[in-house]
Structure 1
Amino acid sequence: MAKARTIGVGIDYSATSKRALKWAIDNLIEAGDTILIILVLSPKSDPVNKKLFADTGSPLIPLVELKEMSVCKKYGITYDSELLDMLDTVSMTKKAKAVAKVYWGDPREKLCEAARYLKLDTLVVGSRGLGTIKRVLLGSVSSYVVQNATCPVSVVK
């Protein structure tokens, strides 16, 4: 039997990040794996627990707690039933453990930090599909993460 893995998925609630989650579920997640949802929120957001965890990110939040509005509010997480349904399904059908971690700040830096400190086996991120000029001007989160993460990265278009 293969060793259980920890697979991170960067989520920002966009359609592309949800496609990345679906791709990870369909192509990577196996029984016993942990799927770790990494939410990077704006540093301007100011939920109750941000001051406690601003530097290290939140503790790991189990799926059962992620479904509670009070927990979402505590960390400034958007309650997203589509996302929760996907996590529920993968935990039931593939017997995978689903958890989330919240960071505040620059998504590029925080996704790489998550890969390093959480010892991810792989990280999956979505791509907004910016053209060459926009990517140069705005910078691409996925390009940065591919070049700087300490684990393999899959970018889903």
Structure 2
Amino acid sequence: MGDVRKVGVAVDFSMCSRAALQWAVDNMLRKGDHLILVNIRPDTNSEETEMLLWETTGSPLIPLSEFTDAHVMKKYGTKPDPETLDIVNLVATQKELKK
């Protein structure tokens, strides 16, 4: 199996980013890998969310258990769509991704 890898996918929760995520799941991810979703939101006012705390260093990685919690994600000013969550939850189980 080799070393555990980190595979990053940029998402904005659009149909195109879901397609990119699905492609990465189908073609890149291996059992035990880390999947990192990168979400950049340039159109928001960071003063409205807790993201202001992380403006210098960027936000910390959010574990899958928190990524699927609407209350936690509201603090980050983002709302993942159900389809993206379904893809991530399914692949986390199927490929035993690191959480």
Q: TM-score w.r.t. structure 1 length?
A: 0.59
1:97 aligns with: 98
Task: Flag structure 1 segments of 5+ consecutive residues without an equivalent.
Answer: 99-157
The answer as to 2:60 corresponding to 1:59 is yes
Pairing of 1:67-78 with structure 2 (within 5 A): 67-78=68-79
1:3 aligns with: 3
1:12–1:40 Cα contact (<8 Å) kept: yes
Q: Distance in 1 between matches of 2:28 and 2:38?
A: 16
Q: Percent identity?
A: 38
Cα shift at 1:80: 1.3
Higher strand fraction: Structure 1 or Structure 2? 1
List structure 1 segments (4+ residues) > 3 angstroms apart after TM superposition: none
The Cα RMSD (Å) is 1.4
Q: Distance in 1 between matches of 2:67 and 2:61?
A: 10
Cα shift at 1:55: 2.4
Q: 3-state SS of the aligned residue for 1:65?
A: helix
Q: 3-state SS of the aligned residue for 1:9?
A: strand
Pairing of 1:7-156 with structure 2 (within 5 A): 7-42=7-42, 44-46=44-46, 47-97=48-98
Task: Flag structure 2 segments of 5+ consecutive residues without an equivalent.
Answer: none
Q: What is the total number of aligned residue pairs between the two structures? A: 98
Q: TM-score w.r.t. structure 2 length?
A: 0.90
Q: 3-state SS of the aligned residue for 2:36?
A: strand
